[in-house]
Amino acid sequence: MLETLKSRLLLMFRNHSLPRWMVLFLDMGIVYFSFLIAYTLRYNFEIYTYEISLSFRQAFFVLAVYTLFMLLFKSYSGMIRHTTIKDTYKIIFSSTSALIVLFLITLMSRYYEWTPLFNIPLSILLINYGAVIMLLFFFRVGVKFFYEFATSIPKDRKNVLIYGSGETGIIVKRVIEGDPKSEYKLVGFIDDDRKLQGKKVDGSPVFSRNIIKKRFIEEQEIKVFIIAINNITPGRKKDVIKSVIEFGCEILDTPTFDTWLNGKLQVKNLKKVDLEDLLGRDPIKLDLEIIEKGLIDKTILVTGAAGSIGSEIARQLTRFKTRKLVLVDQAETPSYYLEQELKNKIPGCNFRIIIGDVTREDAMDRVFDKYRPEIIFHAAAYKHVPIMEVHPREALRVNVGGTKNIADLAIKYSVQKFVMISTDKAVNPTNVMGATKKICELLVQGYSRRKDIKTQFITTRFGNVLGSNGSVIPLFNKQIREGGPVTITHPDITRFFMTIPEACQLVLEAGFMGNGGQIYVFDMGEPVKVLDVAKNLIRLSGLEPEKDIKIKFIGLRPGEKLYEELFAEGEEHITTHHPKISIARIEENSFDTVLKWINNILTSLYKSDERELMEQLKEIVPGYKEKPELIS
């Protein structure tokens, strides 16, 4: 019976939310009839002792004054089923203002002997004032009471803590309590403001972050933790997540206001926090003036533009006033998706998608001849270590051959700047992919030292980027969704991690820092154990490692290192004005010798057997040490 009543009330609230104009008319009705009641109370219900028609006319006059201040203070505009103290203040302010004006009009009417319409007994005005405030207040409280009764949460819902009791936190509270399909039940707020701790906000208790202990989480059966502070700093967000993650709670984040549907937050908008939130990096400060000066009114060519790095570079470039973006990639479907994204999200962007292979000199020559690019960001490459171990010829053809081809065309068409994307795997490489990228570094360095060319050649080197295509993070997430196990090659393996936007911002910054010839190395922070990454991803999904999702070690893959390095032995480490960018100064090599080696290896790709190719790689890259025991 009770549940039936609640369901009917809830249906009524969902289907009949009062519009503002209706609330205004209801409030006006309360004012009008309150005045008539005040008249009868003033004269002890002896209606024959006063002129009834005059009381009705005065009621309309009082109503006009009250309505004026209702409109000024917008006391009718709040969602009455979510009445707060602010709504009560509006009622008091508007009613008090109306009372003061009516008092003044009455006193002036008596002094100047105006018409009886304006000469209202002051006692009636006071009675009406008190009655209006009480009736408007109880009208709203009554609606709120029935709404909260209708939406009272069943016991089978998940207990929730909200971090942040400000405006966003209150919005999240009302959303999860107001959605009948919501699976959440609020236990309280967590807030760092000591003035709020121990008190209640919107009817819910506010706790200190110190309360987040295993005992409290278990006693309160907390299953979900929602971060409801939009302007939270990365470092603070990291600390908050780390304080909760070990307890197995599902951790959700509140999206920014501009992503809310029609300006309204919905339960389905709450999203799981990202692994990059656990990096806690401060936003990168770019020298936008230098970057803008280098890009303004320029035609920019991006190779590998549909890949993780290339597409993000393209997005970053749309912030600047370039003349045209020429986006080259051989992958048709990702290129289509990139095209649709730029069309829909950045309609004013002048770009052209080109399906093309960077290793085909004739095709790329036509692109250069037609668009005459002035700056090149070369991100096209094969990057998957185990696959390239099996296909070393393709790694050399695309990574080395493609880089040489684009670099040669850059020189031919007098491109101003050529920025190549390298990798930490090029440092003391133990795999084919890393060795090919090291050759690319040597090639670009060689070109940069030539005095007969105008093109500035620059190399950027960084480690793994979170969430890139085929990287470990999407793989782990897929394995978690499928119920495990999560596979890791070795319990001690570590990697540097950086977000894709962060890496690409630094690529733009480094691209305009020098005059060419530098290898810029990005600060990746401290290396992170991949095992810790896997455990954190499992916990961020609201699950417990080993209990809900098993972790399985499968052994190092062919060519894989236990740890990565950003600087090779013997490379000089030089700081720059940017705290996150350094320069690696490598030993000079004979460019003619390097170029001869590269030409020989490219021309003999499909003539030599793989063992001969490996020997040639060792000759070109002295630091390359293949691990035959890992090759199956």
| Non-local CB neighbours of 244 within 8 Å, separated by 6+ positions | 212, 225, 251
Give the β-pairing of 519-522 and 271-272. Answer: unpaired
2 contacts: CB under 8 Å, gap ≥ 6: none
C-alpha–C-alpha distance, residues 175 and 167, integer Å: 12
Q: How far apart are CA 420 and CA 511, in angstroms?
A: 9
Question: CA 302 to CA 299: how far, in whole Å?
Answer: 10
In angstroms, the CA 328 to CA 380 distance is 9
| Residue of 157, 53, 38 lying closest to 102 (CA atoms) | 38
Residue 214 burial by CB count (10 A; 0-12/13-18/19+): exposed, middle or buried?
A: exposed
Instruction: Give CA–CA dist 547/488, Å, rounded.
Output: 17
Residue 584, CA distances (Å) to 38, 443, 567, 572, 625 in order: 86, 15, 7, 6, 21
Active site residues: 425
- The one-letter code for the residue type at 422 is S
Token couple for 562: 């236990």
Q: Do 169 and 188 meet the contact criterion of CB atoms below 8 Å apart? A: no
* 460: helix, strand or coil: strand
Radius of gyration for the chain, computed over Cα atoms and rounded to the nearest angstrom: 35
Bridging pattern class, strands 528-529 and 494-495: antiparallel
**CB-based contacts of 403: which residues, under 8 Å, 6+ apart?**
358, 378, 381, 420, 440, 443, 444
Contact 377, 510 (CB under 8 A): no
Instruction: Determine if residue 96 is left, alpha or beta; phi over 0 gives left, psi from -120 to 50 gives alpha, anything else beta.
Output: alpha
The two counts, helices (H) then strands (E), for the chain are 21, 22
Can you read off the two tokens belonging to residue 559? 């060519």
What is the rounded distance in angstroms from the CA atom of residue 46 to the CA atom of residue 58? 18
